[in-house]
Amino acid sequence: MNFDEAGVIAALARIFGSSQRGVEIGIGDDAAVVKTTDRTAITTDIAIEGTHFNTHWSSAFDIGRKVTAANLADVYAMGGSPKFLVAAVTLTGDESMEWIEDLAEGIAHEASSCGVYVVGGDLAKGPCKVVSITAIGQVDVAITRSGAQVGDSIYISSLPGWSAAGLAIIEKDLESDIALHAIAEFSAPTLDYSSAVQFSNGKATSMCDISDALVIQAEQIATASGVQLQFEKDLISAHPEFGTLSELAQSVGVDVWQWILAGGEDHVFLATGKELEGFCIGTVRAGAGVTGVEMKKAPDTWRHFQ
């Protein structure tokens, strides 16, 4: 082991900060105590070495950012504002102090980009690295998956598929700017959280983030709302990034639609409503399921049971 436990705790307390608005009791007691209103969103995401991240591919900073982003996105996707998070981490003991600090800084960086504070956590030794984060946030009006209405349009906040593209090419020697962008998105996606707020403000009738793949989550909205989501491939392929993503897919012999429809881990927001500020990809109709697109192969991930 290259570090002592007291040193790790002290470093975490320093990185996560002690003066935090809305935090009555932060790191240093049995539990944190925070100010809340009458409706709180709570969500959790776990990432384990070998499945969700790999220290050869991703920096500790990116790993911290990615798991944090997954949690923050889930709170935004409910129409909420994330406020606080706790992080439970297992380490093998082989990590350098610098690696651990980078991990904590990645978590703190992504959290603070949304004004969210890290208020506590747990640290343990184990046979592999695990980062498990729980975020809580304030919700005034919850936007669920069940409110899509016939006649609504379907919107995405950005084009999904970049994370899947990054995963597909990470071990190839592609050094173009586009390839590096895809790898960066896989390592730690850049989330435009404000797009979820825009969907909420625009009175989206349903919303989710599509961390489990666009088609799967669209099917969840269709089922929960009792409607059919009709995608238009022409609309999706008119997205400004479609061309560059297609080129990348061609260069590695992959169908770009597989990345877009079944990719997963993008944390793009999918919403339904009228005249929302987003990229329109179809319409909500009477019926069931998702039409207009075909997913050739389901992604090999397990689903959130949130």
Q: Rank residues 203 and 304 by Cβ distance to its own copies and give the closer one.
A: 304
135: how many CB neighbours lie within 10 A of its CB? Answer: 28
In terms of Cβ atoms closer than 10 Å to its own Cβ (0-12, 13-18, 19+), residue 255 is middle
Q: Which residues contact 14 (CB under 8 A, 6 or more apart)?
A: none
Using DSSP's 3-state secondary structure scheme, residue 96 falls into: coil
Q: How far apart are CA 129 and CA 175, in angstroms?
A: 29
Minimum distance, C-beta of residue 256 to its own copies, in the bound complex (Å): 26
Q: Least distance from C-beta 279 to its own copies, angstroms?
A: 20
State which residue, 26 or 282, has the beta carbon closest to its own copies. 26
Put the strands of the sheet holding 117-125 in their side by side order: 117-125, 81-91, 130-138
| Residue 277 C-beta: closest distance to its own copies, Å | 20
Alpha helices in 95-208 (DSSP H): 97-112, 162-169, 177-187, 193-201
Q: What are the structure tokens assigned to 241, written together? A: 């990034």
Q: For its own copies, give the closer residue by CB, 136 or 159.
A: 136
Nearer to its own copies, 52 or 181 (CB): 52
- Choose between 133 and 179: whose C-beta lies nearer to its own copies: 133
Task: Tell the smallest beta-carbon distance from residue 12 to its own copies (Å).
Answer: 6
CB of 253 to its own copies, least distance (A): 27
- Reported for 5-11, long-range contacts at CB under 8 A and 24+ positions apart, including other chains, are 5/123, 7/97, 8/97, 8/100, 8/123, 9/123, 11/97, 11/100, 11/101, 11/104
**How near is the Cβ of 13 to its own copies at its closest, in Å?**
7
Task: Please say which residue, 50 or 240, places its beta carbon nearer to its own copies.
Answer: 50
